[in-house]
Amino acid sequence: MDYFNSLTATSVVVIIAFPLLFLFSFLWLSRRNTNSKKTVPEAGGAWPIIGHLRLLGGPQPPQISLANLADKYGRMFTIKLGVRRALVVSNWEIAKECLTIHDKALATRPKAVAMELLSYNHAMIATAPYGTYWRQMRKFIIIELLSNHRLNLLKHVRESEVNTSLQQLYQLWNKKKSSNSDKVLVEMKRWFRDVTLNVILMMVVGKRIPNSYEGVETVEWKKSVDEFFELGAKFVTADAFPFLRWLDIGGEEKRMKKVSKELDQLVEGWLREHKEKIAENEANSEEDFMGVMLTKLRDVEEHDANTINKATNLSLVLGGEDTTSITMTWALALLLNNRDALNKVQQELDSHVGKDKLLVTESDAKNLVYLQAIIKETLRLYPAAPLSVTHEAIEDYTVNGYNISAGTWLIFNLHKIHRDPHIWTNPNEFRPERFMATHKDFDVRGQNFELIPFGSGRRMCLGVSFALQVLQLTLANVLHWFEFETRHQTKQSICVKHQD
């Protein structure tokens, strides 16, 4: 009876409801249609299961592969990286919306396996998830190391390190030049790395590493650092497929553990030295950042103080060394391919610093507007982190009219953003002059979203001021002291001739 009743009831409902249901589903479908217009385009060419993973593995650099996809799929599109989805932004207006209105919603980082293994389980600031630990560390680093006040106090460290490195380069030239030629072949990339590394180490741990032409420690350190970057950039299979992690396909996890152990030992050594010094009361314990940290840092819940100390120092050294020295290498390479600009900047140096004064100081460097334009143009064409550092959405958000769900990764293609033909005439050409004319008021500190080599917003690079100081000082000096030319089109080998 009940059954019958309910059946009738059901039939009634069905009969009455069916047209309504039909109507609703029609409406729903048509709404879904307008919605699907509002679904971010997904780039084609995804392979089953792995998605677009192979795009990030070469042979082209990933920023180029992604720029090509932007030409096809537009200013924002998604790619699939195994089970993860990433939004790729290739337009400055959308980047601006992300880094202003949605900055907070986008302030965390993906937990990539590489970063877990290489960065003390995310204790490094650059990869730390958004939260109390990250906020405290960021504040601490800024106040103790990278504030304008601290940076001013450390001016002599930068000037004296740059001086030392220049003297070494001069000696190398002096030793290698022969009677029939005063030109000497030098790998400038290596020299730029040595300067940068020593300036940063001096500030952070209060010591320098003998340059590449001398010590064993340097060689080992460099090897580990190179591997760190190679592996850190690696998107391990386990990131795309968390459930496959135990297999360690390709053995990358094993290598990562090895590299992180090597770096850890090195840093551990520095830490030990500091603690011994403090114990012996021998030196002013707050001379360098590590000392300051040791004195001030108490255990923060998530990580113990030792780990924080090591992770922080190491992330500053690693975060600053490669980026800054690569930028200098690009600047010199661009100048060598644009001799007019090279002549012009050397003239600027001659007229502002003078031929009789050899060492360019930071206060001199401030007045070198053309040099600054060169640095900006270099950072525009070859941002040291062409895909920035990946963000992850903490919550759902709507950008440019599209709904993006929490957990989606966010990749800014700075390479593409910086070459927008609507903003830059002849975007692929090296034209520092634009920063003295049409783009005079553009800076790189995250206010002009057309040019964001250091990112912008909460997660913006902490080292901007420091990096710009080192770039200006080192480039100014090396261009003032030496003449350069290329040989046999070898990109990294540059002939150095000391100026008379």
Ligand X SMILES: *[C@H]1O[C@H](CO)[C@@H](O)[C@H](O)[C@H]1NC(C)=O
Annotated binding-site residues for heme read 461
Query: Phi then psi for 380, rounded to 5 degrees?
Result: -70, -50
Angle at 323 between CA 322 and CA 327, to 5 degrees: 110
User: Smaller CB distance to ligand HEM: residue 94 or 495?
Assistant: 94
Three-class DSSP category at 85: strand
**Residue 81 · residue 43 · CB < 8 Å:** no
Q: Is 278 in the site for ligand X (CB under 6 A)?
A: no
CA distance 5 to 332: 87
- Return the range that interacts with ligand HEM (CB under 6 A); candidates 149-157, 357-365, 431-439, 449-457: 449-457
Angle at 25 between CA 20 and CA 28, to 5 degrees: 125
User: Smaller CB distance to ligand HEM: residue 75 or 352?
Assistant: 75
Return the residue of 40, 88, 381, 461 that touches ligand HEM, per CB under 6 A: 461
Q: Per CB under 6 A, which of residues 376..405 are in contact with ligand HEM?
A: 383-385, 388-389
User: Smaller CB distance to ligand HEM: residue 63 or 237?
Assistant: 63
Site map (CB under 6 A) of ligand HEM, residues 292-331, x = contact: -----------------------xx--xx--xx--x----
**Residue 155 · residue 362 · CB < 8 Å:** yes
User: Smaller CB distance to ligand X: residue 115 or 266?
Assistant: 266
Q: Which one of ligand HEM, ligand X, none interacts with residue 95, CB within 5 to 8 A by kind?
A: none
**Residue 255 · residue 248 · CB < 8 Å:** no
Return the residue of 40, 125, 184, 371 that touches ligand HEM, per CB under 6 A: 125
E-state strands within 252-307: none
Q: Is 119 in the site for ligand HEM (CB under 6 A)?
A: no
One-letter amino acid identity for 82? Answer: G
CA nearest neighbour of 70 among 92, 90, 45: 90
Identify the residue whose tokens are 């070898």.
490
Q: Is 310 in the site for ligand X (CB under 6 A)?
A: yes
One-letter amino acid identity for 3? Answer: Y
**Residue 414 · residue 386 · CB < 8 Å:** yes
Q: Per CB under 6 A, which of residues 312..351 are in contact with ligand X?
A: 312-314, 317
Q: Is 293 in the site for ligand X (CB under 6 A)?
A: yes
**Residue 72 · residue 362 · CB < 8 Å:** no
Site map (CB under 6 A) of ligand X, residues 159-178, x = contact: -x--x---x-----------
Q: CA 304, 307, 309, 311 torsion: positive or negative?
A: negative
CA 413 and chain centroid, separation: 12
Return the residue of 8, 403, 405, 447 that touches ligand X, per CB under 6 A: 403
Q: Is 375 in the site for ligand HEM (CB under 6 A)?
A: no
CA nearest neighbour of 115 among 225, 232, 261, 238: 232
- Return the range that interacts with ligand HEM (CB under 6 A); candidates 85-93, 284-292, 462-470, 478-486: 462-470
Q: Which residues pair with 498 in a beta bridge?
A: 482
Q: Is 453 in the site for ligand HEM (CB under 6 A)?
A: yes
Residues that bind ligand HEM (CB under 6 A): 125-126, 138, 315-316, 319-320, 323-324, 327, 383-385, 388-389, 453-455, 459-463, 466-467
Residues that bind ligand X (CB under 6 A): 35, 38, 160, 163, 167, 204-205, 267, 270-271, 274, 289-290, 293-294, 309-310, 312-314, 317, 359, 398, 403
